[in-house]
Chains A and B, each alone.
Chain A
């Protein structure tokens, strides 16, 4: 229930953002209202950027000072809470157990993938996801193992989520936001995450038996069990960065653009 106001705020933010993808040929100053700037190298930049198809995706970040503050807070949280938790989790559970939990969790999120492939009109992928789910659930003992990976047709299905579906429908990102604990998102992806939560059976169980805290813990993008992976990714994006905030923001935007382009 606590999520409701956030959800409404996100929808409003998305509605008023009026943003669009722009190209670098437009002056940088004109991008203030844009969600992202997909800047392609112009011909005069040939000397310095000769991959003309490289899109330099930038975020529309109207509340950057606030976001930077939350980013700093998250950094402390990750450093002093999440990383020790991650180390303890890895020490307690052997790799095989961790992998099994991750596999089972991924398998049970099947409705998220089924619905979004369908909403994107990719019925071939919907069929493959269904096949993958059936194989992993039966031969993989409830999804603990992934025998579908050995079947070429079912092995490499593109990842999919609700925010990505919105992107494919042409919904712009809206402002870039950094939330305490959860980290970076855009208004569009925030609404998408709410959609993913609604489609996630683990969250249904959480609502029935565990309340909002449990639901958040297990149905956040990768769940509490995903903290080690999340910390790895966070380190990857920020550890050797000149400006960790910009690195995380650019990384997020590029990753999401790639997801929509898949």
Chain B
């Protein structure tokens, strides 16, 4: 009887903690999206957009985690310097790519759906985003890294991290960290 009661209390406490985590993550995501949109509205597009949006994204997106997971198990072969270099380049690539998605004057409308927690310190928040009259399923993966940060974005089921991982896989097999960094440099320099 006591055991059943204890289990019930623990389960209730866990549910409360999970709900609180989900709410915290959602609050952080809403703040991030609002800040990005505010900056995007003021920017004029192109490289100006990327420059202005960078500080906001660095505050809310954990690019280190994103790069590590995009590279996958091959990350263990990287030296600390190579890890830092790859993260720097990947960050630049993703920010440039992300900022190109905005058309000045177009305001996306985001509806936040019920979030879920696949594990401790992780929350997945699905949204429906209406942009230029089209509806998109966009899911944000958040991690508690001292504060809640975005670590992956899935647009219509396509994970940014998994998509790059498929590309990094071949490079890691071919030439390890050197090949990954060379390819990232090439992509970043490409206009």
Whether both chains belong to one complex is answered with yes
Q: Judging by beta carbons under 8 Å apart, are B118 and A52 in contact?
A: yes
Q: Cβ of A29: which chain B residues have Cβ within 8 Å of it?
A: none
Q: Judging by beta carbons under 8 Å apart, are B167 and A246 in contact?
A: yes
Question: Per-position contact with B for A219-251: 1 when CB-CB < 8 Å, else 0?
Answer: 000000000010000001101111100110111
Q: Cβ of A77: which chain B residues have Cβ within 8 Å of it?
A: none
Q: Does B76 contact A (CB under 8 A)?
A: yes
Q: Cβ of B122: which chain A residues have Cβ within 8 Å of it?
A: 50-51
Stretch at the interface among A53-61, A125-133, A178-186: A53-61
Q: Cβ of B76: which chain A residues have Cβ within 8 Å of it?
A: 47-48
If A251-B163, A254-B157, A255-B158 touch, whether A242 touches B69 (CB-CB below 8 Å) is no
Q: Does B63 contact A (CB under 8 A)?
A: no
Residue of B nearest to A44 (CB): B73
Residue of A nearest to B165 (CB): A56
Q: Which residue of the partner chain, among A56, A103, A229, A240, contacts B162 with CB atoms under 8 Å?
A: A56
Q: Which residue of the partner chain, among B69, B134, B157, contacts A257 with CB atoms under 8 Å?
A: B157
If A49-B69, A242-B183 touch, whether A247 touches B163 (CB-CB below 8 Å) is yes
Q: Judging by beta carbons under 8 Å apart, are B118 and A247 in contact?
A: no
Q: Which residue of the partner chain, among B135, B156, B167, contacts A255 with CB atoms under 8 Å?
A: B156
Query: Within the complex, what minimum Cβ distance (angstroms) separates B20 from chain A?
Result: 21
Binding site for B on A (CB under 8 A): 44-45, 47-58, 95, 99, 102-103, 156, 229, 236-237, 239-243, 246-247, 249-251, 254-259, 261
B105-146 with Cβ < 8 A to chain A: 118-119, 122, 128, 132-135, 137, 141
CA distance A254 to B161 in the complex (A): 12
Q: Judging by beta carbons under 8 Å apart, are A242 and B184 in contact?
A: yes
Q: Judging by beta carbons under 8 Å apart, are A51 and B96 in contact?
A: no
Query: Within the complex, what minimum Cβ distance (angstroms) separates B164 from chain A?
Result: 7
Q: Cβ of B141: which chain A residues have Cβ within 8 Å of it?
A: 51
Residue of A nearest to B118 (CB): A53
Q: Cβ of B93: which chain A residues have Cβ within 8 Å of it?
A: 240
Q: Cβ of A241: which chain B residues have Cβ within 8 Å of it?
A: 167, 187
If A239-B97, A255-B156 touch, whether A48 touches B134 (CB-CB below 8 Å) is no
Query: Within the complex, what minimum Cβ distance (angstroms) separates B78 from chain A?
Result: 10
Q: Which residue of the partner chain, among B75, B128, B166, contacts A246 with CB atoms under 8 Å?
A: B166
Q: Does B159 contact A (CB under 8 A)?
A: yes
Question: Per-position contact with A for B152-186: 1 when CB-CB < 8 Å, else 0?
Answer: 10111111011111111011000000000001100
Query: Within the complex, what minimum Cβ distance (angstroms) separates A9 from chain B?
Result: 27
Q: Cβ of A229: which chain B residues have Cβ within 8 Å of it?
A: 134
Query: Within the complex, what minimum Cβ distance (angstroms) separates B22 from chain A?
Result: 16
CA distance A257 to B122 in the complex (A): 22
Q: Which residue of the partner chain, among B128, B134, B163, contacts A250 with CB atoms under 8 Å?
A: B163
Residue of A nearest to B69 (CB): A49
Q: Judging by beta carbons under 8 Å apart, are A240 and B187 in contact?
A: yes
Pairs A–B under 8 Å by Cβ, sample size 25: A45-B72, A48-B68, A48-B72, A48-B76, A49-B73, A50-B122, A51-B141, A54-B161, A55-B162, A57-B162, A103-B133, A156-B128, A239-B100, A240-B100, A240-B187, A242-B168, A242-B183, A246-B167, A249-B166, A250-B162, A250-B167, A251-B163, A254-B163, A255-B156, A258-B158
Q: Judging by beta carbons under 8 Å apart, are A254 and B187 in contact?
A: no
Q: Judging by beta carbons under 8 Å apart, are B73 and A48 in contact?
A: yes
Residue of B nearest to A47 (CB): B76
Residue of A nearest to B155 (CB): A236
Query: Within the complex, what minimum Cβ distance (angstroms) separates A27 from chain B?
Result: 14
Q: Judging by beta carbons under 8 Å apart, are A247 and B162 in contact?
A: no
Q: Does B2 contact A (CB under 8 A)?
A: no
Q: Cβ of A95: which chain B residues have Cβ within 8 Å of it?
A: 132-133
CA distance A100 to B187 in the complex (A): 38
Q: Does B71 contact A (CB under 8 A)?
A: yes
Q: Cβ of B151: which chain A residues have Cβ within 8 Å of it?
A: 51
